[in-house]
Amino acid sequence: MSKPVLWLACFALLALGAAPVRAQEAASIPKESWSFSGPFGTFDRAAAQRGFQVYEEVCSHCHSMNLLHYRDLVGIGYSEDEVKAIAASKQVTDGPNDQGEMYQRPGRPSDAFVPPFPNEQAARAALNGALPPDLSLIVKARADSSPIKGLSGGADYVNALLQGFKEPPAGFKMSANMNYNIYFPGNQIAMPPPLAGNDVQYADGTKATLPQEAHDVATFLTWASEPTMEERKFTGAKVLIFLLVMTGILYAAKRQIWADVH
């Protein structure tokens, strides 16, 4: 039996290892320890809320998060009233009203995150022609070359990138309006260093160092990329317990039924 098992294992390896081996131009991404990694990992609510604060006060000036709604924020531990207050602090364009005109009103929890720019052209016009990517799915879209790492891989990348701005090495040719980042493929990124440390005043008194801010915002963005992750893992545990018990019973039944054949 060992040979077939070996080959089954090979099939599994093919399935898992088929990720393309990409030419790595950028420095290798340091691994962080994350609250959400592993089969029982959950989102650290305090870190995610701090990360949301960093997003609000820094990232959101350029980056949209179109797939999120203010109501989603209860998922990182804000109360309904807090969500209402956060939403109400935004101005949302609504309409047309019965005069046929668009108008501004305070946000509601059911509104999507208000984007910094009305359209792509406006963003490019304001930012030297660069278009900041929407951050709703950035962690799932950047899980580097080994997708088996899942969400942690993408969070590692975001965390590293935010801390990866350095002076370009001597002789490195920089294009206009670009910034040097050791973790970005090609090392030239249009985004200027967004965080330097002490960019925000954390409400819970945590010291806002650069690694702390990067870690928090990566936690927030990971939650944003898959708010159903905790439900998925929790459901998975129940499903697996059921399947293990059921399969055990089926095995016993199989032995019983086949007893007279062997």
Partner 1 sequence: MNAPGNQSQSKIVRWIDHRLPVFTFMQHELYDYPTPRNLSYWWNFGSLSGIMLVIMMVTGIFLAMQYTPNATMAFDSVERIMRDVNFGWLMRYIHMNGASFFFIVVYIHIFRGLYYGSYKEPRELLWMLGVIILLLMMATAFMGYVLPWGQMSFWGATVITNLFSALPVVGPKIVAWLWGGFAVGNPTLNRFYSLHYLLPFVIVGVVGLHLIALHQHGSNNPLGIDRKGPQDSIPFHPYYTIKDMFGLGVFLIIYAIFVFYMPNALGDTQNYVQANPLQTPPEIVPEWYFLPFYAILRSVPDILFIPAKLAGVLCLFGAIGVLFFLPWLDTSRVRSARFRPVYKWVFWLLVIDVLVLGYVGANRPEGWFIVAGRVATLYYFIHFVVLFPVIGWLERPLPLPTSISAAVTKKGGARLAGASTPMEKP
Residues in the site for partner 1, rule: CB under 8 A?
1, 3-4, 7-8, 10-11, 14-23, 39, 66-67, 72, 133, 136-137, 140-144, 147-148, 150, 154, 185, 225-228, 231-233, 235-237, 239-240, 243-244, 246-247, 250-251, 253-254, 257-258, 261-262
170 vs 257, beta carbon nearer partner 1: 257
Least distance CB 249 / partner 1 (angstroms)? 9
50 vs 142, beta carbon nearer partner 1: 142
Q: CB-hemisphere CA count at 13 Å for 18?
A: 6
Least distance CB 147 / partner 1 (angstroms)? 5
Evaluate whether 79 touches 92 at the Cβ level (below 8 Å). no
Largest CA distance in the chain: 84
Place of tokens 């364009």: 93
148 vs 203, beta carbon nearer partner 1: 148
Q: Is the N-terminal amide bond of 211 cis, ω within 30° of 0?
A: no
Least distance CB 71 / partner 1 (angstroms)? 10
Indicate the burial class of 73 (C-beta count within 10 angstroms; 0-12, 13-18, 19 or more).
Answer: buried
C-alpha 89/C-alpha 215 separation (Å) is 26
4 vs 169, beta carbon nearer partner 1: 4
Closest CA relative to residue 13, chosen from 25, 5, 2, 22: 5
22 vs 207, beta carbon nearer partner 1: 22
